[in-house]
Chains A and B, each alone.
Chain A
Amino acid sequence: MSPLRDWPIKRKLTAILLLISGLVLVLTSAAFVTYQVVTFRGTIQSHLATRSRILAANSTAALAFANEADATEILAALKYDPHMVAAALYNQDGRVLATYPVAATADLIPAAPQPDGYRFEGGRLVGSTPVAQGGKRLGTLYIASDTKDVSDALRLSGVIAIVVLAIAMLAAYALAAALQGRISAPILALAETATAVSTRQDYSVRAPKLGEDELGTLTDAFNQMLVRIEDQDRELRRYATELEQRVAERTQELQERHEAVRRNAAELLAANQELDAFAYSVSHDLRAPLRSIDGFSHVLLEDYAAQLDQAGRDSLQRVRAASQRMATLIDDLLKLARVTRAEMRTEVVDLSGMARDIVAELQRATPERLEARGDPRLLRVALDNLLRNGWKYTAKQPRPQIEFASTNVNGERAFVVRDNGAGFDMKYADKLFGVFQRLHSAAEFEGTGVGLATVRRIITRHGGRIWAEGAVDRGATFYFTL
């Protein structure tokens, strides 16, 4: 049998009701039977005592005169009471004077008188009563009665109790079976609904409400919960559907995009391979004819110079120059192609250093870029002054720039030092080169007002000119010729 806690609630309720009513009935019946027995025993005991005292009173004469026949006759009257088992009269000495029945055996009659009083002994009620006259004790009356009445009464009570118990239990069972439904039905309904919800995922079912008690409240709460769950479930399903749809759309989009990218990549790869093949072919094949053009032009110039006039030689030189230019063009184009094709290896690059390297390389290749005739020591002083000037007046610039270049001014070559610093007002342009002339306070920019004057002296000594252009906060440009 399954443990008590696993019993269905119906059986539990019935069992509890039966257990309680059974216990009450058993206790009640026991009390009833006990009361019956106790009462009955008291009754028959007092009954026997009364009879004993009557007999004792009747027996005084027989005892006083030790008249055995009388005594026996008196005792013989007991035969009218079928419950009387035995009786005896003891004289003063404790000797048996008479017995009932006359031929009573020793086991029925004690040999000596018992102490006064009544008691139940071995299924019989026995008692000893003093026989006295005028305050003088003459002897003792012993009397024994069976307890058939008691046991009969007991049996009857027992039977009644059992019958009542049985009827009561049946009634209790019937009542319990009828009434437990009041409690268990709503619970069972709830349980059934919950099962339906959990097995079928059907949130539309509702538990029937069977009353306004606590179980009714519970049912209401349960149903409200179901309503909310149903709503949320519906929402959730809607979201899930939407989500699925969106995921499907996105997947589709991604696949399309992926496909497009793949196609593009393939096209790019093909284009790249074509470019590669093209560049390789150009590298090998396009330069060879140029070499022939240049080479054989050269052969003509070397071997047939005598047969050619100046114009012919000039033409051939042009052919050579053009072929060499074309070779350069091809090389540049190849470089461009290589820049496009080159594999990228990213790392930290020192651009400043790189720029310095390239400038140094360029300067090594063509050192004569800004060339002039003059005294190097003096020109160094002049350039030093001009560049320092630029350096000084660009100090407050976030992006300072100082440029040294050459330019053409009215067909004359002029060198330029240009900065994007503090500049000056053109009104004072003629004062710039005067000794001790300053356009800025010492607090703004340090200086002695000698530098530019020195520069002008040097330029003038070289037969050149120096002038300046500028605007406040727009930088200054110094031009000089040599």
Chain B
Amino acid sequence: MNAGKILLVEDNPDDIALTMRALKSHNMTNDVVVAQDGVQALDYLFGAEGGAGPDELPAVVLLDLKLPKVNGLEVLQRIRADERTRLLPVVILTSSDEERDLIDGYRLGANSYVRKPVDFVEFTQAAKQLGLYWLLMNRAPPVPRRL
């Protein structure tokens, strides 16, 4: 698989393990970068304290909403506010299906909203579908050059 990476923004280690397992079963593990809170996610994308970010933006960000330090919606807001990441595909992947989270998520420019199923079989299916769709089927927008 030579498509871009997945940035998984998730603070729950169990969820990280389960997501990794689900992705692994479809050979997508190598492409996953994990950020355990909002700050880490922003650091990865924009570089920590003036440092440089990655050479290449991820193909998709899987973003949990309830995160320590900087929550998911704020991360999304920052991503959409920056010229470099304005078009970066962001999928909200979270436990909640509160209407308010859905509305806020889409309002701030999420490309998709997926509720994590409790059933692991369904969860695996969802992770697989997401990976396949965003890494293989979806055509990401051209990435602007780094300044």
Contacts and interface: CB of A to CB of B under 8 A. Distances in A.
Interface string B81-100: 00000000000001111111
Interface of A: 279-280, 283-285, 287-292, 294-299, 320, 323-324, 327, 338
Contacts of A280: 96, 98, 100
Given A298-B121, A320-B120, A338-B99, 4 more contacts: A284-B65, A288-B95, A291-B95, A295-B14
Interface residues of B, number: 22
Interface string B15-31: 10110010000000000
A227 B120 CA distance: 97
Contacts of A290: 118
B66 interface: yes
Closest 6 CB pairs of A and B: A327-B118, A292-B14, A298-B120, A295-B120, A283-B96, A295-B18
A266 B140 CA distance: 50
B65 A291 contact: no
A301 B119 CA distance: 14
Nearest to A298: B120
Contact of B118 (A279, A284, A294, A296): A294
Contacts of B116: 287-288, 291
7 contacts: A285-B95, A288-B95, A291-B15, A291-B123, A292-B15, A295-B21, A324-B119
Contact of A285 (B66, B97, B120): B66
Interface in B45-78: 65-66
Nearest to A281: B66
Interface of B: 12, 14-15, 17-18, 21, 65-66, 94-100, 116-121, 123
A292 B15 CA distance: 7
B98 A287 contact: no
Contacts of B18: 291-292, 295-296
Given A280-B98, A283-B95, A288 B123 contact: no
A292 B97 CA distance: 18
A285 B14 CA distance: 13
Contacts of A295: 14, 17-18, 21, 120, 123
A229 to B, nearest CB: 71
B66 A287 contact: no
A292 to B, nearest CB: 4
